[in-house]
Chains A and B, each alone.
Chain A
Amino acid sequence: MAIADAAVRPAIRQHGAVSSFLLRLLREKPLGAICGAIFMLFLFCGVFADLLAPYGMNQINPLNRLKAPSWQFPFGTDNLGRDMLSRCLYGAQLSVIIGFCAAGLATFVSIVLGIVTGYIGGKLDLITQRFVDAWMSFPDLIILIVVVAVVGPGMPQIIVTLGLLLGIGGSRIIRSAVVSVRENMYVHAAQSIGASTGRILWRHILPNVMPPIIVLFTTRVGTVILAESGLSFLGLGVPPPAPTWGGMLSGTGRTYMFQGPWLALAPGLCLTVVVFTTNVFGDALRDLLDPRMRGSR
């Protein structure tokens, strides 16, 4: 029954599924729901930063240098008189772009690698897994630093590197889900009526490993944002004057923090809140969508 159920579930997903899922989230995981809402707010701020920001991201005003937080400048101003609230909002925009593009690419790479190696198995799987082993013995940040050292800093490079980096590591999670789905009766049934490998992967395997994929994507957004800000902090991310949250905590701004501690507060708080909410939201999603993965992180 359980097996049949799992196979049928994606097919009968109808209209009210999303709203009933949201209701379940609200009822069973209130904290997760709150964090999900904050996460949506962050998305909203990122997408509409141009409309929300009261000042330009690099609008310099020497008269307003290092102003403490006030009604006019809720997050204060920096050493060039730039409004910190506006910079944080534009920082959210950069984080949204990098976070979603890189997490999307990472998830895509994980799906392709995980499904192909998990389903086909054999020598291909064996060799790929040794490669993944080797790949995972390098710390993310070190690979990022080395790649940036070679190809130079910039948004496209960071998105592609982070996407590949996290994609290869994450393929393990998808692969293990595929390995357990592969042995289900409906897959054998599809094989026996002569369905092509592509069709089996697309119509039978993929829909049934969707829950871990959704969870992987959500948590990856947080990981990417954190990694990118670490790189920007080291001065190897998106080059200044782009207002990245990590970049705002480093560089010339650092020398002025002793006079204006709010320079250190605002970007760090934004980062922490966003990563915190993605983690809690991702965990709540995992508990609801995929009970098997509970406590696996």
Chain B
Amino acid sequence: MQAYVLRRLLALIPTLFFASVIVFVTVRLIPGDVIDLMLSQNDIAADKLSRDQLISALGLDKPMWEQYGRWVSAILFHGDFGNSLWQSTSVRELLFARLPVTFELGFLALIIAVTMAVPIGVYSAIRQDTAGDYLFRSLSFLMLAVPAFWTGTMVMVLPSIWWGWSPEVKYVPFTENPLQNLKQMLIPAFILGTALSAITMRLTRTQMLEVLRQDYIRTAWAKGLNARTVTVRHALRNALVPVVTLVGLQAPLLIGGAVIVEQIFVIPGMGLLLIDAVTQRDYPIITGVFLIVGIAVMFINLVVDLSYGLLDPRVRYR
């Protein structure tokens, strides 16, 4: 097990390297005239930063490989992501403040999605080709197609017209008032989890259908076990392994969707930070968010890989 974890961590190095190159090169594609645009757009900051200062703050005055080396070593050895161009806060501070909010939102969405999807998927498989199965399958297609920003908008608009009620948008941190915070996060998390829930539902159904036809399920029935034990202990546990992989692979979907949901419900997470940074062209923040998101997804995938052993005793790490 330890050797396996070590090998997986080592295998992460090339991927991390490529990810850092992608982040670095993408943001470094800034055309020269954008510098002028940045200076003209941010009047207040213009007198604080001259053109040359801005270029050196962005690190654009050195050769590409040297810029990359400085950037990576600052992050690796000092955890330094640079400073915001227009405010004097460090990007690391901003990231640390916003990351837990997005994490909470994503985690809640994940829990809601899975608790909805797995029972429905199991039901659909057991009652294959019944009216209920068709209903849930159509529903899952619908849930995949409805864009989060539309449902989000409807939730804001319709109840306010009908009942004069609209979701709370003044964010309360979890540490201040956990109950109020959860109440506030519930609707956004539900909307964020919709698409993931649909995918999970469909995969749970196909996996269950496959597992239910296996010999050991027939044996379990023949032993006279009750339906609950057969479906949950024998079938579901085996069907869940690919489902867990899928949920892990969909982490980007949750984080990407969080940007939109945070925007609608004004939740101060990474997504809102990114959008604000984009409108202000604050490149160090953009770079920081971009990199952290990529790294987060990689580690989620790693954790998912390691969790197989808990779910499936046949998996041995070598």
Contact = CB atoms under 8 A, between A and B. Distances in A.
A146 B260 contact: no
Given A130-B18, A138-B19, A249-B153, A279 B144 contact: yes
Interface stretch (A64-72, A111-119, A203-211, A225-233): A225-233
Given A133-B15, A138-B290, A139-B252, A151 B29 contact: yes
B102 to A, nearest CB: 11
A267 to B, nearest CB: 8
Q: Is the interface of A mostly helix, strand, loop or mixed?
A: helix
A137 B15 contact: yes
B256 A140 contact: yes
A267 B154 CA distance: 12
B59 interface: no
A166 B128 CA distance: 33
Interface stretch (B48-56, B157-165, B180-188, B218-226): B157-165
A145 B274 contact: yes
Interface residues of B, number: 56
Interface in B254-295: 255-257, 259-260, 263, 274-275, 277-278, 281, 283, 286, 289-290, 293-295
A49 B16 CA distance: 46
Contact of A150 (B26, B144, B259): B26
Nearest to A278: B145
B293 to A, nearest CB: 5
B205 to A, nearest CB: 8
B304 interface: no
B244 interface: no
B308 interface: no
B18 A271 contact: no
A276 interface: yes
B125 to A, nearest CB: 11
Interface residues of A, number: 47
B157 to A, nearest CB: 5
Nearest to A273: B145
Given A268-B150, A268-B154, A272-B147, A142 B293 contact: yes
Contact of B256 (A139, A268, A271, A279): A139
B30 A150 contact: yes
B29 A233 contact: no
Interface of A: 130-131, 133-143, 145-152, 222, 226, 229-230, 233-234, 236, 246, 249-250, 254, 257-258, 261, 264, 267-268, 271-273, 275-276, 279-280, 295, 297
Please give me the 4 A-B residue pairs with the lowest Cβ-Cβ distance, nearest first.
Answer: A139-B256, A134-B18, A268-B150, A141-B256
14 contacts: A136-B252, A137-B297, A138-B19, A139-B293, A141-B257, A149-B286, A230-B148, A234-B259, A268-B153, A272-B147, A275-B145, A276-B141, A280-B141, A295-B202
